[in-house]
Amino acid sequence: MADDSNRLVRLLCRPKPLNTKGSDPGIHFWLIGSPFFPPLTVASFLRRIHALPSAASPDLPKESEDLRTLIPRGFEVVGALASGDDAHARAAVDAARTLRNLLYGEGTDRPVIGAVCGFDSGELRFFVSESENATGLESISSVIEERDSKKFVWENGCLLHCELPIKLPLYYSLKNPTDVEKSYVQATEAVIAKLRDPQAVYLLETSNKASQDISPPVIIRGLQLDFSTDLSKIKALADDDDGFDASSLSCSYFPISSKAGSPVFSAENADIIQVSVLFNSLGSSSASTVPVAEYFPVQEETRLLIVDIKLDVLCYSSRKLPLKYAISSLIIPGLVDQLNVVQKLMLPNLLAQHPWLKSYHFSPPGILHPITVFYELSFGETEMKQVEVRRSLHSRLGLPYDRPLLRISNALDFSKLNNNDMVSLQKGSTLLRDVHIGIPSSGVTGGTVSLVQGSYEYFHYLHDGYNDSGWGCAYRSLQTIISWFRLQNYTSIEVPSHREIQQTLVEIGDKDPSFVGSRDWIGAIELSFVLDKLLGVTCKVINVRSGAELPERCRELALHFENQSTPVMIGGGVLAYTLLGVDYNEASGDCAFLILDPHYTGSDDLKKIVNGGWCGWKKAVDSKGKNFFLHDKFYNLLLPQRPHMV
């Protein structure tokens, strides 16, 4: 191998801990970089999850199928990491180069990184192969770990977003239904040809409508596109280059969004250029313009199948990239990738109940670049087939398995994005959230405070103008609990109304139809039924004979908040409260309960709520002998369990 040189590898992140002791040499991670970054820059490490059954070698065709749409255009595979000694760097380079050819085709002969992780030391060493024909590897001894990786990626980068709905008309013979597959392939090829047609038109505009300095939209025509130039060889335009026509404009033509305060560098806060595809059929032509009708007789009975597809592509670009290359080298290849992926997923069940596919974009923690995922919406999010898809993605990305980071409710929502005001992408409402933050202490000496973790919304009597005073406290507690699961992205359902809660109990057979629209109370058991039906959430129910015994459950409640973190419902007689935490001194037994009281009937005035004691610490018996919990009442504690699945 060649001697060390002055070249360096730049790491924007590090791989997850890799246990190589006792393992066979093999490829463990793909190294992801970008043609817009300096050479040998690694933005992320994506785990290899498909291996050939007879060896530790990666199943490269399957890996390429997964990565084709997962990695947005503008990022690419730049190398591989293997376990073993330096000699295994060649295997890493060869695997990465083969994978690159599968993903991007021949002619992408750029330097490829081969990294190795030692069996004993776990030390990372890097090598580089300059070209496919290079026989030797160059050892890289200089490694820089970027301190502010997000700024490195997003300060001079932006996102391109393109949605394209398509209807594919497929004709097939009833005697030979397999013809529909051939028809689908031909229809897909026709769409791809149309995307590259000189008469195609691409409209680019900023998504920051709130900016006072909005640049006019730009039109790029198909005849201006260049499909033969490698992205890494495209000459960047200067920031102040404001050429005469669209072919000389760069992405920086659209001004950076005005953000108050210090800028936040992330995919969620990136500048976005919206791209629309317009198929122009009115261009000049030398052919006859006289209308012509052609008749093609069929020899047998034929059917027409319309397949609806909505492509949704997200790409990363340098702000200095000319707009015409943003279309030809990023948007169009991204659309083609999605067309091919959808075709592969559709064909097996095209004439049966073909899949209902939709792409979603995510920005999971620890991953600098966004990812794109296709979900089949025929399945519910809690069905095992969908869970296994997400579990595989969590493995690929090195994400924990007990957080719903890739559920639909956590996807980037560009329709709600407003960079000027930095509005959260999270669906939400005007309800008060997390009202317990900043309240006075409990008064327990030497206690340990265990609290709900994550956000919730405060639902109480008379909220949204619905009069449930005197009977709806358990409904309101349930709504608060469901809001916690929503805001932690365990579910995307809306918080149900009283009527919808009642209807759910009727549907599962717990109540008679007359229950819908009534003012009947519900308790812990009914709440557990609703949570199981609507969210797939299981609950633990604890029975307490009286309020005086509640302090005996403090240790168990503290463990719940530490491990499960969800709000708890306390029900006794005709009363229900939401419990947000406990302060417990195990030595003395002194304890207090953090109560969120749904019986409040006023406006959503945080100061009024806290000062009025509607959210605060309560003792079963205070210093004046006053009982908060009625001692002669039977109590149930409903402890929702956080789903430990992706």
**Residue 597 annotated to the active site:** yes
Q: How far apart are CA 542 and CA 640, in angstroms?
A: 11
Q: How far apart are CA 418 and CA 567, in angstroms?
A: 31
**C-alpha torsion angle, residues 227, 231, 237, 243 (rounded to 10):** 10
**Residue 615 annotated to the active site:** no
Q: How far apart are CA 149 and CA 43, in angstroms?
A: 8
The residue behind tokens 């633990």 is: 540
Instruction: Single out the catalytic residue among 50, 354, 599, 631.
Output: 599
Three-class SS state of 11:
strand
Torsions phi, psi for 482 (to 5 deg): -65, -35
Instruction: Single out the catalytic residue among 117, 158, 473, 554.
Output: 473
b/e map 454-489, b = 16+ CB within 10 Å: bebbbbbbebeeeebeebbbbbbbbbbbbbbbbbbb
Cβ neighbours for 301, distance < 8 A, ≥ 6 positions apart: 173, 174, 175
Residues listed for the chain: 646
Do the Cβ atoms of 455 and 431 come closer than 8 Å?
no
Three-class SS state of 15:
coil
If we measure between CA atoms, which residue out of 183, 543, 188 comes closest to residue 335? Answer: 188
If we measure between CA atoms, which residue out of 571, 590, 567 comes closest to residue 579? Answer: 567
If we measure between CA atoms, which residue out of 311, 306, 236, 316 comes closest to residue 277? Answer: 311
Q: How far apart are CA 619 and CA 582, in angstroms?
A: 10
**CA distances from residue 527 to 359, 454, 538, 544, 642 in whole angstroms, order as listed:** 34, 21, 10, 17, 15
**Residue 158 annotated to the active site:** no
**CA distances from residue 268 to 49, 75, 400, 414 in whole angstroms, order as listed:** 27, 17, 21, 9
If we measure between CA atoms, which residue out of 570, 573, 574 comes closest to residue 620? Answer: 570
Instruction: Single out the catalytic residue among 460, 590, 597, 615.
Output: 597
Q: How far apart are CA 502 and CA 522, in angstroms?
A: 9
Residue 344 has a CB neighbour count (10 Å cut-off) of: 11
b/e map 196-228, b = 16+ CB within 10 Å: ebebbebebbbbbeebeeeeeebbbbbebbeee
* Radius of gyration from C-alpha coordinates of the chain: 30
Q: How far apart are CA 594 and CA 609, in angstroms?
A: 14
List the catalytic residues.
Answer: 473, 597, 599
